Amino acid sequence: MTRAILRCARPAAVIVLVAYATPLFAGASVLSTVHAQASDPATVLHLPLALQDVASWATPPPTAPAPVSPTAAPPSSPTPPPSATPLADETERLFDPQRVLDVRLELPAAEWATLRHEVRTLRDVFGAEACASAPPESPFTYRPATITVDGTRVENVGLRKKGLLGSVNAAQPALKVKLTEYDPQQRLHGMRRMTLNSPVADASIVRQCLTYALFARAGVPAPRCNYARVRVNGEDLGPYVHVESIKKPFLRRHFADDEGNLYEGTRSDLTPEWVRTFEAKTNEQANDRADLAALVAALQAPDDALFEALEPLLDLEAFYRFWAMESLAGHSDGYTNNRNNVYLYHDPASGRFHFIPWGADGALHVNVRPPAGDLNAPRSVSAQAHLARRLYLHPEGRRRYVRQMRELLSGAWDEAWLQAEIDRQAALLRPHVPAAWRQGFQRDLDNVRGFVRDRRAQVTRELDAGGADWRYAPGGPPCRWPIGTLRASFDAPWKGGQGTARIVVRIEDGEELTLGDPGVIADDGAIRTWPRYPALTFTGTFPRATRYWQRGERLLALVFVDPERFRAGEAVPLDGASAMAWVYRQPNRPDNLFPALLWEGEVALGAAGTTRGASVEGEVETRIWMWRTRLPPADTAR
C-alpha cells in the first residue's frame, strides 16, 4: 500500500465529501445506490439532501472519449447566406446564433501545459483573512498565443485560463482571449476579447445561451452567446460556449453612457461586511466606491423608508425583472440565490445601478443550492441576497415581485419558443459533441426540456397563494477554517462494484475515529463537473458524535484524479481549485455550517488499472476545511 502525504500543487485531484444521516442507506447499498443516482440527473430531486450539489451536476459520459487526431478536419457548421446589407456591428458575425465558430489556438506546448494546470488556492479566494474581505485574487497569467477563428488568423494575442474553484478544470479549461494584451489596436472582427466557457458543469451545453436569451427577452442587459469548437495546438477540446465579455463594448450596447462604475460580484453582497468583495472593473484608479457605499447604506433603512431610500440609487423595476428571471430560470448560482456571478453597473445617465447576469451554466435546474439545505424551499423566489431578502420581506416588495413574475410568465417565458430553441441549439451542437459525451448530452437536454415543461406549474402554485413565505436567516461573507483531517486506504476493482476501505477522521483536537461500514467504488465520471476523470467513491459511518457530525451519520467522499496522473506509483497532489468537499446532514441542522472543502492533501496510487476488474489501490490524506458564510460557533448541537 502506498502512503499519502498531504500537499497541494495543481488541479490533479478532487475530493467531494458528503455526510448524511439516514437509515435508508448502509454499507454497500449506499455506494451502489448513490453512485447510480449520481450519474443520472433525472433522479437529482430524489437523492438525499447530502447529494444535491453533487448529483445536480451528474450527467457524465460513461467512458472516456476516444483520442481525436490533431489533423482531423472539424465538422462543418451550417453557413448562413451572405447578408444583403453590411452588419451594423462587425462583432455580430462572431455571435451568429446559427453557427458554431471554428476556434484554433496555438502556443508553445510547455506554455499550454502550464496554463491549463494553473489553479486557485483558498488564499487566492479568501485572501489572508479567515473570511473574504476583498475580491478573489487571480492566479492566471496571459501568455502569447495565435488565434484563428473561421480562417481569420491573429498573432500575438493574450491567452489565459479563467474560473473560480469548481469551474477550474485542466482537461477542458475555460479560456479568455485578449486581442489587445500586446497590441492595443489589435481586433478580430471588431472584438477586443473572447470568453470561451467550458461546458464541464453543463452536459446539455445549452444552459448558458438559453438563460441569457431569457434575460434579454425580459429586457435585462445580458451577454450575447453562441458556440465554438476549440482546438489548442491541434488537440480537439470539443464544444465551448462563447459568451460576450462584460466590458465597455457591452456597456455601450446597453447604456447611453459607458463611463460609469462597473463591478463584478463573486461571492459578494450589499452588506457593510461583504461589500468590499465587489471588484471594480472600470475606473479602477478613480473610483472611491461611494456609489456602492450609498446603496449599502440605503439597504439599512427601516421598512417604511426602504423604497424611498433605494429609488434614487437603484433602477428597481429593472432589478425586479433581473431578480424574477434569475428565480424563474433556476439560476441558483447567481446573485439573488447564491450571492455570486453578477455584474453591477452604475449608469451615469440615470445615477442608478443595474444588475447584469453572469455564470449561468448551472441554470435551468430546480434550485440545487437551496437555503439552509431545505429541499422544500420555495420554487418561485430566491432571496438569499440581502437586497432581494429586504425587498421580499417587505409587503409591498413581495407584491411587486409577484406581479413581475406573472409578467414574465405571460411574456418572456414562452415554453413553445424555449422548446424550439432547445431543439435548434441541440441540432447545431450535435455534430460537434464527442461520441463519449453524447449519452450525457442527450440525457441532460431532456432534463432541460423537463425543467421548461414543469416550471410554470411549480411557480404558479406559489404565486396563487400570494407568493411563498421566506423564513431563512441571512448569511455573511464566505469564511474558511480547518476542522480536522481525513485518511483513507482503499482497494477496489475498476468498475467492478464495491471494494474495501479504511477511513479515519480526526475532528479538531479530538481522537481519531475509524468509520464503520466502510466501502469504496472506483470508476470514472461520477459527476458532471469532472467528466471522464477517474473517481473513487468512499462511504462510512461515524461511530459517535463530534462537534460537526452526529453519531450514525454517514460520510460520502468522491475523489477525482487527473487522467494524466492516474497511474501506479503516482503521488497526485490534491489541489485547491479541484479539491472541494460538500458536507451535508440529513436532516439538516439549522447551524447551516456545511458544505466543507477538502484541501492540502495527496492521493497516492499503488495500482491504477482502468480495465474492468483491474485493481485500484492506494491512500488518501487531506485536511478538512469549512467554507461557509460565517465563522464557527462556540458550540453546535450534538
Question: Shortest CA distance to 616 belongs to which of 563, 553, 567?
Answer: 567
pLDDT tens digits for 33-75? 344 333 333 333 223 333 333 333 333 333 333 333 333 333 3
pLDDT attached to residue 591: 54
DSSP class of residue 314? B
- pLDDT tens profile 222-275: 999 999 999 999 999 999 999 999 999 999 999 999 999 999 999 899 999 899
- Ranking 292-301, 375-384, 400-409 by mean pLDDT, the lowest is 375-384
Q: How far apart are CA 216 and CA 345, in angstroms?
A: 16
How far does CA 296 lie from the centroid of its chain?
A: 26
Backbone angles phi, psi at 463, to 5 degrees: -65, -40
Q: What is d(CA 101, CA 26) in angstroms, rounded to the nearest whole number?
A: 49
User: Which conformational region is residue 61 in: left (phi greater than 0), alpha (psi within -120 to 50 degrees), or beta?
Assistant: beta
Q: Which of 482, 483, 522, 480 has its CA nearest to residue 501?
A: 522
Q: Per-residue pLDDT tens for 483-518?
A: 889 999 999 999 999 999 999 999 887 889 999 999
pLDDT (mean) for 88-112: 95
Question: What is residue 171's predicted lDDT score, i.e. its pLDDT?
Answer: 79
Give the number of C-alpha atoms closer than 13 A to the C-alpha of residue 390, restricted to the C-beta side: 21
Q: What gap in Å lies between CA 185 and CA 180, rounded to an integer?
A: 6
Query: For the segment 450-461, what is each residue's pLDDT rounded down to a tens digit?
Result: 999 999 999 999
* Residues whose CB is less than 8 angstroms from the CB of residue 297 and which lie 6 or more positions away in sequence, other chains included: 309
CA distance 398 to 392: 5
Q: How far apart are CA 236 and CA 215, in angstroms?
A: 32
**Predicted structure pTM score:** 0.81
Are 46 and 37 in contact by the 8 Å Cβ rule? The answer is: yes
